Amino acid sequence: MQLTHLDEKDRPKMVDVSDKEESFRVAVASGTITMSQIAYDMIVSQQTKKGPVLQTAVIAAIMGTKKTSDLIPMCHPLMLTSVNCEVEELPTLPGFKLQVTAKLKGQTGVEMEALMGVSIGLLTIYDMSKAIDKSMIINDVKLESKSGGKSGNYTRTLA
């Protein structure tokens, strides 16, 4: 099987999507960050010295989604039509779950953009809270679902 990011001489290349038809594409990714109870409580009560951690993480997730092609070498620059980030408080961890939904009408998918958004959002929580808890763990960054494109739809199943 030939990998799509290698040419016939095994040299790296960006996939040519010139002839692909545009379609509406959506990707949803998620991940979690676990931390000490003290860090969790300070973030939820907005008592951290660096400001509103969760609001900043949402902005960072959106920015990360938009900058994916600057950081992942073979990703196409995309004209995203929507990026949404949701944060769920998980007091029993304690920690947070971030979910990013990226949308566009285009010739290539947005899975990497959604995954990048989650990663950057979670890293922002870590950065803004590391003075309180350096032992935080970013976990389970994954694609939840995608729709559109030649490969069709995908939804993660519990297995």
| Residue 67 φ then ψ, to 5° | -105, 10
Determine the 3-state secondary structure of 110 from DSSP.
Answer: coil
Active-site residue among 16, 127, 133, 140?
Answer: 127
- Told to judge if 19 belongs to the known catalytic residues of this protein, a careful annotator would answer no
Tokens coding 20: 């692909």
- Cα dihedral 133→134→135→140 (10° resolution): 100
Q: Which amino acid is at 84?
A: N
| Residue 94 φ then ψ, to 5° | -80, 155
Q: Which of 93, 91, 84 is nearest to 140 (CA)?
A: 93
Catalytic residues: 127
